[in-house]
Amino acid sequence: MTQRPSPDVISEYKEFVAWDAPTRWFHWINALAVLALIATGLVILNDDALGLSAGGKILLKSIHASFGYVMAINLLWRFIWAFYGDRYTGWRGILPGGSGYLTSLRAYVLSFLSGEPQQFVGHNPLARIGISVLFLLLLIQLTTGLVIAGTDLFWPPFGHWFAQWVAAPGVDPTSVQPGASDLIDKASYQAMRAFRAPFVQVHEFAFYALAVVITLHIIAVVLTELHEGGSITSAMFTGRKILTRKPPDAP
């Protein structure tokens, strides 16, 4: 008995434009910056065990925070671009929710389990949850990181405010440097460190959460590529996906 092809199967491969250039640039700049932040963050976590000097620790935090600015500017730019992006790169293609979202999530999961997964031009409904969690964790790292860069290095945008807080009476806050104990008021410095502590805790916790979510992200990409094809990894370079089934989110 001959099997009739499913009506959703396109007889030829078809190419779809998925990711615009700003989204692709964002993705790879973010991936490289986060990799550098994880590597330098891991050294900061183990700085005492590695026997780093006080000066070495400040240099290390400066390198880490410099990568942090790259990541922060890139991420904020992506959030702005999501207001201008199309159906795949804008907020409606990223955030889970909106009319019919739960139905499409159910349909996608069922199709995945059946062994004939639906192919999406943009993010599939499950991926939208993953990408949103990633964005949220990156936003938490960005916010807490900028506060700690202010408390530890007196760097913008909050550094000037912290320098004013801890400067000893009569000392110009702009001259306060990390490690310059003669320029600071000890009691104010202790109060500032107490204020800083929860931000460092959240920064560290979000780091572990990010490590888990980034691993899941990579596993999901590999599984999708293996089960659904669609050249989804090269699509982040070329912008184009090659699909064999009719995508539910095609224009």
Does position 213 interact with ligand HEM (CB under 6 A)? The reply is no
Question: Which CB sits closer to ligand HEM, 18 or 44?
Answer: 44
Task: State in angstroms the smallest separation of the CB of 77 from ligand HEM.
Answer: 14
CA angle 233, 110, 248 (to 5 degrees): 55
Pick one of 25, 69, 81, 101: the residue that binds ligand HEM (CB under 6 A): 69
Does position 74 interact with ligand HEM (CB under 6 A)? The reply is no
CB 128 within 8 A of CB 248: no
Alpha-carbon distance of 15 to 178, in angstroms, equals 54
Does position 41 interact with ligand HEM (CB under 6 A)? The reply is yes
- φ and ψ of 12, to 5 deg: -115, 165
Alpha-carbon distance of 34 to 185, in angstroms, equals 35
Does position 37 interact with ligand HEM (CB under 6 A)? The reply is yes
Q: Is 125 helix (H, G, I), strand (E, B) or coil?
A: helix
Task: State in angstroms the smallest separation of the CB of 22 from ligand HEM.
Answer: 20
Provide the 8-state DSSP code for 167. B
Pick one of 145, 159, 230, 247: the residue that binds ligand HEM (CB under 6 A): 145
Question: Which CB sits closer to ligand HEM, 142 or 235?
Answer: 142
Alpha-carbon distance of 21 to 59, in angstroms, equals 34
Positive or negative, the CA dihedral 114, 115, 116, 122 is: positive
Does position 78 interact with ligand HEM (CB under 6 A)? The reply is no
Given the rule CB under 6 A, which of 123-131, 160-168, 200-208, 234-242 is the region that contacts ligand HEM?
A: 200-208
* Beta strand ranges found along the chain (DSSP E): 9-17, 240-245
Tell me which residues touch ligand HEM (CB under 6 A).
34, 37-38, 41, 44-45, 61, 64-65, 68-69, 71-72, 138, 141-142, 145-146, 148-149, 152, 200, 203-204, 207, 210
